[in-house]
Amino acid sequence: MIVKKLRLQKSWSQEQLSQFSGLSVRTIQRIERGHQASIESLKALAAVFQIDLNDLQPEHDMNTSNTVNDNVSSPLNHQTTQLSDDERKAMKYVEGIKGFYGHLFSFVSSIIVLTLINLFLTPGYLWVLWVIFGWGIGIVSHGIQVFEVFSFFSPEWEKKQVEKRLGRKL
């Protein structure tokens, strides 16, 4: 998430970061999803973002200092490399919206193609309506989940269920 935050601050795409760092797009995607990165990958990213290598390592303790890098000044302060809960939630929310719009685009483009096939091959029977209905249910449920229209499983519900399972208050 730190890499994603820094990338977004510079308004770079994953492809641009890939070119600047010499890493593959796939590697950047994995790192942004929270997978463990090699030290070489972290060094490349730290160089591109012009920050200290330790700022990219999740196990870095802010109270300890690395004597090798103590004299290195960074154009970005330490606060910009740390993610707050709000930032993490906002990034997750935007990722969900992005996924929904990708799903919606796939739906619309596929339905257009399938409708043309249906009308060309079997104009007397509109089987494409079944596809629209089935996939439409998925699109609607995905939208409800992403845009949080209403939630069957709210945090209060989760807490209640955990307390019920534990037999005591949290």
pLDDT at 101: 97
pLDDT at 73: 40
CA distance 17 to 21: 6
pLDDT at 132: 97
pLDDT at 99: 94
**50: left (phi > 0), else alpha (psi -120 to 50), else beta?**
left
Which residue do the tokens 């019920």 mark? 164
How many other C-beta atoms lie within 10 A of the C-beta of residue 54?
20
Q: How far is CA 141 from CA 54, 109, 113, 149, in A?
A: 41, 19, 23, 10
pLDDT at 54: 85
pLDDT at 70: 40
Residue-level length of the chain:
170
**Over its length of 170 residues, how does the chain's per-residue pLDDT go in tens digits?**
788 888 888 888 889 999 999 999 899 989 888 888 889 999 999 999 999 888 887 644 444 444 334 434 444 444 455 667 788 788 888 889 999 999 999 999 999 999 999 999 999 999 999 999 999 999 999 998 888 777 777 777 888 888 888 888 87
pLDDT at 55: 82
